[in-house]
């Protein structure tokens, strides 16, 4: 035991013999739990935690720093931990949790994974996402198999041990130099307390110089006082320190630039160097945070802590991208016709994809939120829009309003983009108003409709569980030459991400392709329609997939790029 203690406290230089010995002994209290071949100290860890309130933007801050570290030449692998007991985010209501993001491998996850992908310009997978439900499911399965060798399974060492294993395993599987961990929620939450404890143990096992803790605090400015106050932030930091973690960097969130005296108070309260107290006040676009952190040398602070070399990095392309968003002269108004419009995070990836496309087209996209739950007011709400998006969704609420919005865009020749459910609404609208199928519907809403133009996928009809059972993740799409879709993609086959259970009913495909509608994209070797467009409209396109999930700041989605171009043309007319 003394040998392991000495090696750990000397900087994580633990020989594999000692590490493996104590990781696998059923009676050992260390339970270091590492993958075979793991070498402590080789992989560095950065842990982001919240303090005062949630929703401060831990994911954005972590993604911005990850981008800087990648620019410095390091392989970065992010992971998000969510403390809820759902196995994944697939069954979460967007009103409560924001958008459900989908990875290429089909993982339904927190929207922060989308932020990581966009900033890093990399595809992530299921190992980059962990929930309490996923963690405990794994532990209980191992317990039933007898893999804990008769031990009473406890939060310490077993739950914390599994967390440490998963973080180390992520680093090894992705060949990461640096693993970046976002802990959902705030310090003091019961549901993440054991995760914080696991990080504390990792500091002990890996060595303090191999782990950094970044705490986000909120600097309040009460309107009655008119000045910034840091006491709440200080108390949040003390709570963190009381759980055994001392922050190395403190990121201060606020409406305005952080006052110097506030930074000094935070510094002395937390024993953190003043240069490590970072100003992250509100900016015009989240992508500006990369430049903000670089101006304060945050990447250099991190790499010096780890004993890693920094290099001069070129952020010119990123700077130009941000400048185009911030300084855009032209403007278009896009209507977003959905039923989650009161929580804009429900459509986070769409908003970001529009941002990417607007920068490429040197314009600003102003969103007009169209509430579709009341059909009567939809047409009036659409006045003055240069384009319309009908996004994804589930269930019957707001369906008729969405169909009315599609009809308005078709008749008034307004550029239209339907996404997933929006694709299905466009099919229903066409069937009802142009093909005489007055009762056409989706069986999701009306199981007994005379014209089920949207119906369950064949493989979905026997499935009873809700979570993780849809057609999910990256799939190939075959594009018909001579169509608007081919003009946009300039390829005969593309890969996009899906999240749906219902599809355009194959029995109606031939009849639907009348009066101006064609299906220009479909699944390889299957009669699953995935893109539709109109030949009698300047821009009318809908996709069964979610092109917003693959859009990146410097590589905007081709479909969103084309849509914004069409909106600009419509406005100029």
- Residue 347: name the closest of 396, 391, 296, 387 by CA: 391
Q: How far apart are CA 330 and CA 12, in angstroms?
A: 55
Give 84's DSSP letter: S
Distance of CA 466 to the CA centre of its chain: 21
Q: How far apart are CA 200 and CA 569, in angstroms?
A: 56
For 375, phi then psi, to 5°, come to: -60, -40
> What does the block give as tokens for 357?
């496309």
Task: Classify 525 in phi/psi space as left (phi over 0), alpha (psi -120 to 50) or beta.
Answer: left
The pairing of beta strand 101-102 with beta strand 178-183: unpaired
> What does the block give as tokens for 326?
């911030």
Residue that is written with structure tokens 């992908």 in the block: 117
Three-state DSSP state, 309: coil
| Virtual torsion, Cα 79, 84, 89, 91, nearest 10 deg | 170
Q: How far apart are CA 192 and CA 85, in angstroms?
A: 11
Q: How far apart are CA 125 and CA 119, in angstroms?
A: 15
Residue of 363, 404, 546, 567 marked active site: 546
Helix or strand run (H / E) with residue 497? strand 493-500
Q: Is 158 a residue of the active site?
A: no
Overall residue count recorded for the chain in this entry: 573
> What does the block give as tokens for 142?
């191992």
Residue 87: how many other CB atoms lie within 10 Å: 18
To the nearest 5 percent, what fractions of the chain are helix, strand and coil? 40, 20, 35
> With contact defined as beta carbons under 8 Å apart, do 275 and 302 qualify?
no
> With contact defined as beta carbons under 8 Å apart, do 214 and 251 qualify?
yes
Distance of CA 421 to the CA centre of its chain: 20
Three-state DSSP state, 19: helix
Q: How far apart are CA 267 and CA 277, in angstroms?
A: 7
Residue of 420, 444, 503, 533 marked active site: 420
Q: Is 504 a residue of the active site?
A: no
Q: How far apart are CA 305 and CA 273, in angstroms?
A: 12
Cα dihedral across residues 115, 120, 123, 124: positive or negative: negative
Q: How far apart are CA 239 and CA 377, in angstroms?
A: 49
Give 220's DSSP letter: B
Angle between helices 111-120 and 58-71 (to 10 degrees): 20
Q: Is 420 a residue of the active site?
A: yes
The strand pairing partners of 416, in sequence order, are 388, 540
Q: What residues are annotated to the active site? A: 420, 546, 548
């Amino acid at each position: 035991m003394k040998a392991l203690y000495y090696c750990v406290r000397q900087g994580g230089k633990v020989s594999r013999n000692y590490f493996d010995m104590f990781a696998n002994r059923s009676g050992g209290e260390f339970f270091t739990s590492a993958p075979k071949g793991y070498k402590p100290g080789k992989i560095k860890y950065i842990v982001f935690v919240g303090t005062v309130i949630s929703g401060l933007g831990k994911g954005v801050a972590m993604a911005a720093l990850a981008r800087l570290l990648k620019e410095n030449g390091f392989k970065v692998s992010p992971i998000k931990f969510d403390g809820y007991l759902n196995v994944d985010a697939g069954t979460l209501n967007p009103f409560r949790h924001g958008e459900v993001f989908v990875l290429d491998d089909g993982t339904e996850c927190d929207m922060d994974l989308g932020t990581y992908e966009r900033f890093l310009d990399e595809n992530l997978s299921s190992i980059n996402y962990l929930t309490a439900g996923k963690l405990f499911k794994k532990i209980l399965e191992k317990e039933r198999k007898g893999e804990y060798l008769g031990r009473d399974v406890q939060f310490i060492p077993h739950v914390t041990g599994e967390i440490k294993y998963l973080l180390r395993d992520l680093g090894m599987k992705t060949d990461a130099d640096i693993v970046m961990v976002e802990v959902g929620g705030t310090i003091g939450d019961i549901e993440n307390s054991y995760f914080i404890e696991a990080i504390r143990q990792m500091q002990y096992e890996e060595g303090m110089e191999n782990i950094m803790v970044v705490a986000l605090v909120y600097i309040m400015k009460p309107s009655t006082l008119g000045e910034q106050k840091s006491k709440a932030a200080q108390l949040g930091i003390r709570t963190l320190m009381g759980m055994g973690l001392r922050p190395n960097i403190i990121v201060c969130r606020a409406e305005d630039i952080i006052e110097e005296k506030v930074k000094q108070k935070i510094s002395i309260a937390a024993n953190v160097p003043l240069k490590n107290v970072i100003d992250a006040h509100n900016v015009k676009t989240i992508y500006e945070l990369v430049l903000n952190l670089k101006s304060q040398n945050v990447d250099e602070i991190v790499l010096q802590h780890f004993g890693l070399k920094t290099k001069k990095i070129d952020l010119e392309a990123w700077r130009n991208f941000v400048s185009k968003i911030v300084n855009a002269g032209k403007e278009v108004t896009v209507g977003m016709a959905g039923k989650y419009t009161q929580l804009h995070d429900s459509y986070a990836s769409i908003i970001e994809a529009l941002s990417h496309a607007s920068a490429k087209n040197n314009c600003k996209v102003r969103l007009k939120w169209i509430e579709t739950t009341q059909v009567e007011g939809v047409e009036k709400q659409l006045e003055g829009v240069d384009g319309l998006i009908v996004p994804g969704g589930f269930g019957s609420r707001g369906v008729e309003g969405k169909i009315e919005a599609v009809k308005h865009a078709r008749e008034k020749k307004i550029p239209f983009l339907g996404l997933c459910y929006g694709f299905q609404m466009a099919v229903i609208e066409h069937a009802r108003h142009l093909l005489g199928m007055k009762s056409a519907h989706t069986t999701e809403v009306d199981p007994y409709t005379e014209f089920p133009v949207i119906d369950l996928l064949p493989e979905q009809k026997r499935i009873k569980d809700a979570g993780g059972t849809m057609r999910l993740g990256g799939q190939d799409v075959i594009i018909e030459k001579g169509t608007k879709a081919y003009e946009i993609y300039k390829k005969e086959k593309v890969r996009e991400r899906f999240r749906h259970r219902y599809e355009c009913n194959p029995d109606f495909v031939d009849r639907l392709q009348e009066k101006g509608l064609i299906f220009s994209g479909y699944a390889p070797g299957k009669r699953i329609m995935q893109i539709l467009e109109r030949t009698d409209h300047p821009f009318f396109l809908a996709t069964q997939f979610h092109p917003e999930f693959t859009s990146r700041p410097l590589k905007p989605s081709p479909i969103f790029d084309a849509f914004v171009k069409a909106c600009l043309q419509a406005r100029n007319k």
